[in-house]
Structure 1
């Protein structure tokens, strides 16, 4: 699924789309993380700076020129995830780079964490949500389709606040 589905679910998003892509050096990320990333995430990061939904959920993305720092921050997050996996606190999932391991893509102000389950090729990765109360949810789809589903108003938020994202979620970029 593409970011157009997310833009359809979040009408306020389209007005904030950049006219010119951000020109992130994706090869630095691919080399540093030792993996590619899903096409919908790349399109989202090129079209919008850091994306926030409902003043609650944020999708992290690298800044042009800050790719190495983004990789370093992701590696630090992965070290924490590996520690959690060893303590059996990662919902039964391994941490990336193990096959099917979790790779972070976002978080919430309440401490909820959002991951890709890295099984198969990047465009086949699915979403795993780790709620702050140890609620785990696996969504069989892409990041953009998960966010579109969540923001459509038809999805149960599965461990997230019951009123999230609300009927007209505020969208912020930057």
Structure 2
């Protein structure tokens, strides 16, 4: 006894068994090709996802910033509250004299332009800066840091133009950058 369900979905191919086999073969070929394309797209997507850099997100700093001026052979961080150690280290003779920032990279990256003044009797290198980004009302959003592998000569100043410091929140309206560490050149 036949129920007639074999004819569903075959459209005009209702004829003999040879036509049904041809339709089933064509359907299986398209199904195999579709699965191969799905596999290829998923492999490419997974590869791109693995190669992307990790998201920085909103970073909350839980411990106080350590200030240090380290020579090539020793690196000893100094607490920000110890001003006598700061004077001995010479970081107090370095400052950022002017700074501006703008957006780049389709508005998602911060590009900072600033001038570093070195009042020390020696050149410094590997400057680390930290930029704090805030909303228009002054509430804190995120911090981004960057190490500049460049040398600032003694008793001089150097301008760093459009330095990318990282991704910033779309609500960021203000930025304040400060020097954190440096090493003798």
TM-score over 0.5 (shorter chain):
no
Q: Report the TM-score, using the length of structure 2 for normalisation.
A: 0.23
Whose strand proportion is higher, 1 or 2?
A: 2
Structure with the greater alpha carbon radius of gyration: 2
Higher normalized contact order (CA 8 Å, seq sep 6+, divided by chain length): 1
Structure 1 or 2: more helix by fraction:
1
